[in-house]
């Protein structure tokens, strides 16, 4: 497993370090890398990006899933494009859990980490956030992601009570009060941290509603004599909101009895009725709930979903709520240099030119000059690496002749990791076909509190271990950035079977596509707009209302499509290489985070900066 460079250097012997320093070749690489980092833009940030999680690298485990990975890619692309952006999050000393499989079920552990050993630097600033009966303090740590600064708030400071030191202990864990206090710290403390750094921030971007309480502090800065509405209309100009889920369970909501005392702290300071603050986040449906997405939509001047389909679904879902009717969309993308394997990058740099990573259509057009043999060789290296990983982690053997089908994501129930089990007979037959071998590789974590998700995971593990799967269905534990990269590199097919339209975007298929994996997916999220009929496969969806019958129908369709793919793969590798070439040419320009960030810059940040004036 990869380790943080600081940990590696910390453990190295003096002789080893001296030998490294004396090695001219290594030191040349180091100074070139340093120069590259220093070459980044150091203009002061004017845009602040708030997110509860950031997936930066496998050695900085401060994320749980797609939202965090997207946030990490956003920062890297902002750095590449010199967009003057600063990011704000929390530092979780126990991060998100590490997964192992015990007795056929998910086991969780939380290794402790310190900001220092992950390379964070103490800014020397401590901010405080008012909560009922006390102030909570947080230290402000800083990491630089290329040229983009990331501030991380950490409540494990001496000034806090023992309980308050644990507010930032883990990501998405604990009870609702714990979550509420984390989000207050992130929103309010985040704005105070930006002020402490003295940056001229004018635009605030909420990556999902979790940091929405930043509005409290922004209002606090401009409110006069109880004129709450006036203060909000000033704040609104610079506030933009991205919604990430049409699934109600994915949206943060707080019980009225829980949140009111926290809101009352601000209401009494401003001389307003707590009811007026409550109204900002009142759930449109459930009168007892405070809804963070509703709060975002009522206080922002612009909002967007993360794919064309998701934008449409969100406009319906949030009709009449603030800017809900005007929700646009910017489709997610992925940071190419993070997710494309080294081997692929080397070939792309040589044949397509380095601008492929920025999504240049002209560069991607040059894939036409990549021969079938070159494509085959690249795919082969990737599949060997994945086979090695499967061997090393759980002793599984992958037949090099098999069509490798990858599936890795959170075990949220709507993603339907067990969809194919609805057609068990056909699946087993496919797994026993020696003429057209197939191998499924699955990975993913279920949220520790998600009982149904954990049940799906146990079913997948049980099937992988069963006679019936014929050793051709492998579950790799402890899904994270490292394992994800191996899977994108080594899967011929990337399988995605969500209940349409619940996958707001999804990004794992984009990462597979850049590595030459072909998507086989329900037409949901990003795929609904980028599938062109031949750059991968679409799994037909069923209109049946009954969920069990719908799943059975879609399982059958998925196996039909996999059958077609198996024939094509095993009958003619040339046709397959042709498809990969076509997928690269059509998807390469669309799926990069560079394209996404340019859209945020031009359609969201630019107009917001103009509104603020
Ligand atoms: C890309 C990625 C995700 C998001 O995948 P989805 O397609 O949104 O399910 C989650 N976790 C990791 C480690 C990733 O690399």
CATH number, residue 303: 3.40.50.2000
In DSSP notation, 554-609 reads: HHHHHHHHHHHHHHHHHH-HHHHHHHHHHHHHHHTTTSBHHHHHHHIIIIIIHHHH
Q: Is the pLDDT of residue 262 over 90?
A: yes
CB 442 within 8 A of CB 460: yes
Range of the domain at 29: 1-39
**What is the number of the ligand 1 atom nearest to the C-alpha of 66?**
4
**Among 33-47, 74-88, 255-269, 576-590, which is the least confidently predicted range?**
33-47
Task: Single out the residue of 200, 286, 301 nearest to residue 249, CA to CA.
Answer: 286
**What pLDDT sits at residue 39?**
47
Other residues' Cβ atoms within 10 Å of the Cβ of residue 32: 9
Q: Is the pLDDT of residue 244 over 50?
A: yes
Q: Categorise residue 63: left if φ over 0, alpha if ψ from -120 to 50, beta otherwise.
A: beta
Number of domains observed in the structure of the chain: 3
Report the DSSP beta bridge partners of residue 148.
145
pLDDT in tens, 289-328: 999 999 999 999 999 999 999 999 999 999 999 999 999 9
Residues 310, 366 share a domain? no
Q: Is the pLDDT of residue 561 over 80?
A: yes
Residue 96 alpha carbon to ligand 1 centre in Å: 14
Q: Is the pLDDT of residue 330 over 60?
A: yes
Q: What pTM was computed for the model? A: 0.95
Residue 208 falls within a domain, yes or no? yes
Q: Is the pLDDT of residue 37 over 60?
A: no
The residue count for the chain: 613
User: ∠506-408-344 over CA atoms, to 5°?
Assistant: 80
pLDDT in tens, 355-413: 999 999 999 999 999 999 999 999 999 999 999 999 999 999 999 999 999 999 999 99
Residues 210, 112 share a domain? yes
Of 58-62, 210-214, 248-252, which has the strongest mean pLDDT? 210-214
pLDDT-derived band at 225 (thresholds 50, 70, 90) equals: confident
For residues 225 and 456, the model is more confident at 456
Cα gap 415→497, rounded to integer Å: 6
Task: Compute CA distances 299 → 208, 281, 587, whole Å.
Answer: 13, 9, 35
Q: Is the pLDDT of residue 38 over 70?
A: no
Mean pLDDT, to the nearest integer, of 529-557? 97
Task: Tell me which residue has its CA closest to atom 11 in ligand 1.
Answer: 65
Residue 477 alpha carbon to ligand 1 centre in Å: 15
pLDDT in tens, 393-405: 999 999 999 999 9
* 66 Cβ closer than 6 Å to some ligand 1 atom: yes
Residues 108, 253 share a domain? yes
Residue 457 falls within a domain, yes or no? no
Residues 568, 430 share a domain? yes
Share of the chain above pLDDT 70, in %: 93
Residues 178, 96 share a domain? yes
Task: Compute CA distances 415 → 15, 445, 507, whole Å.
Answer: 50, 12, 13
pLDDT in tens, 490-501: 999 999 999 999
For residues 276 and 34, the model is more confident at 276
* 511 Cβ closer than 6 Å to some ligand 1 atom: yes
Residues 497, 605 share a domain? no
- In three-state secondary structure terms, 161 is coil
Residue 168 falls within a domain, yes or no? yes
**What pLDDT sits at residue 575?**
84
Residue 507 alpha carbon to ligand 1 centre in Å: 6
Residues 199, 61 share a domain? yes
Residue 439 falls within a domain, yes or no? yes
Phi, psi of 493 (to 5 degrees): -125, 135
Residues 370, 293 share a domain? no
Listed in sequence order, the DSSP H helices in 149-251 are: 162-165, 176-184, 190-197, 214-222, 228-237
Task: Single out the residue of 526, 513, 522 nearest to residue 587, CA to CA.
Answer: 513
The HSE-up count of residue 58 (CA atoms within 13 Å, CB side) is 15
Residue 260 alpha carbon to ligand 1 centre in Å: 35
Residues 364, 215 share a domain? no
Residue 222 alpha carbon to ligand 1 centre in Å: 39
Residue 338 falls within a domain, yes or no? no
Mean pLDDT, to the nearest integer, of 148-167? 98
Mean pLDDT, the chain, integer? 94
């Amino acid at each position: 497993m990869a380790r943080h460079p600081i940990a590696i250097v910390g453990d190295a012997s003096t002789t080893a370090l001296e030998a490294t320093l004396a090695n001219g070749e290594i030191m040349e690489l180091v100074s070139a890398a340093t120069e590259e980092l220093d070459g980044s833009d150091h203009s002061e940030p004017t845009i602040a990006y708030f997110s509860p999680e950031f997936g930066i690298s496998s050695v900085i485990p401060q994320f749980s899933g797609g939202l965090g990975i997207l946030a990490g890619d956003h920062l890297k692309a902002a750095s590449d494009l010199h967009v003057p952006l600063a990011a704000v999050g929390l530092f979780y000393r126990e991060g998100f859990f590490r997964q192992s499989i015990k007795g056929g079920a998910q086991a969780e552990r939380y290794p402790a980490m310190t900001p220092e050993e992950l390379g964070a630097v103490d800014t020397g600033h401590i901010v405080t956030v008012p909560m009922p009966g006390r102030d909570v303090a947080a230290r402000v740590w800083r990491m630089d992601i290329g040229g983009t600064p990331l501030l991380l708030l950490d409540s494990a400071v001496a000034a806090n009570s023992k309980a308050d030191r644990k507010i930032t202990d883990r990501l998405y864990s604990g009870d609702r009060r714990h979550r509420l206090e984390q989000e207050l710290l992130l929103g309010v403390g985040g704005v105070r941290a930006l002020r402490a750094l003295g940056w001229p921030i004018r635009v605030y971007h909420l990556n999902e509603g979790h940091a929405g309480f930043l509005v409290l502090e922004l209002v606090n800065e401009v409110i006069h004599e109880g004129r709450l509405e006036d203060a909000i209309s000033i704040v609104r100009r610079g506030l933009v909101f991205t919604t990430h889920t049409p699934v109600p369970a994915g949206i943060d909501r707080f019980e009225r009895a829980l949140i009111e005392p926290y809101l009352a702290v601000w209401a009494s300071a401003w001389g307003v009725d707590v009811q007026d603050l409550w109204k900002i986040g009142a759930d449109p449906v459930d009168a007892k709930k405070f809804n963070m997405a509703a709060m975002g939509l009522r206080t922002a001047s612009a909002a967007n979903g993360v794919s064309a389909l998701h934008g449409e679904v969100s406009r319906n879902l949030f009709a009449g709520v603030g800017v809900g009717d005007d929700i646009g969309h910017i489709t997610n993308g992925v940071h190419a240099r993070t997710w494309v394997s080294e081997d692929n990058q080397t070939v792309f740099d040589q044949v397509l030119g380095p601008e492929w990573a920025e999504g240049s259509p002209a560069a991607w057009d040059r894939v036409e000059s990549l021969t079938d043999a070159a494509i085959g060789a690249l795919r082969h290296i990737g599949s060997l690496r994945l086979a090695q990983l499967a061997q090393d982690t759980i002793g599984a053997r992958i037949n090099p002749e098999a069509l490798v089908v990858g599936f890795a994501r959170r075990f949220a129930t709507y993603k339907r990791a067990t969809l194919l089990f609805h057609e068990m007979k056909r699946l087993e037959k496919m797994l026993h076909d020696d003429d057209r071998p197939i191998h499924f590789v699955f990975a993913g974590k279920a949220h520790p509190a998600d009982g149904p998700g954990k049940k799906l995971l146990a079913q997948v593990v049980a099937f992988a271990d069963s006679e019936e799967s014929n050793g051709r269905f492998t579950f790799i534990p402890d899904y994270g950035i490292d394992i994800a990269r191996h899977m994108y590199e080594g899967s011929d097919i990337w399988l995605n079977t969500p209940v349409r339209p619940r996958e707001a975007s999804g990004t794992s298929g984009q990462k597979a596509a850049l590595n030459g994996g072909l998507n086989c997916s329900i037409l949901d999220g990003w795929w609904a707009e980028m599938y062109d009929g031949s750059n991968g496969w679409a799994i037909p969806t069923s209109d049946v209302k009954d969920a069990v019958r719908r799943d059975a129908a879609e399982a059958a369709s998925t196996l039909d499509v996999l059958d077609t793919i198996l024939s094509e793969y095993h009958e003619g590798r040339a046709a397959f290489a042709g498809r990969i070439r076509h997928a690269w040419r059509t998807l390469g320009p669309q799926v990069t985070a560079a394209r996404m960030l340019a859209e945020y810059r031009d359609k969201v940040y630019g107009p917001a900066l103009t509104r603020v004036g």
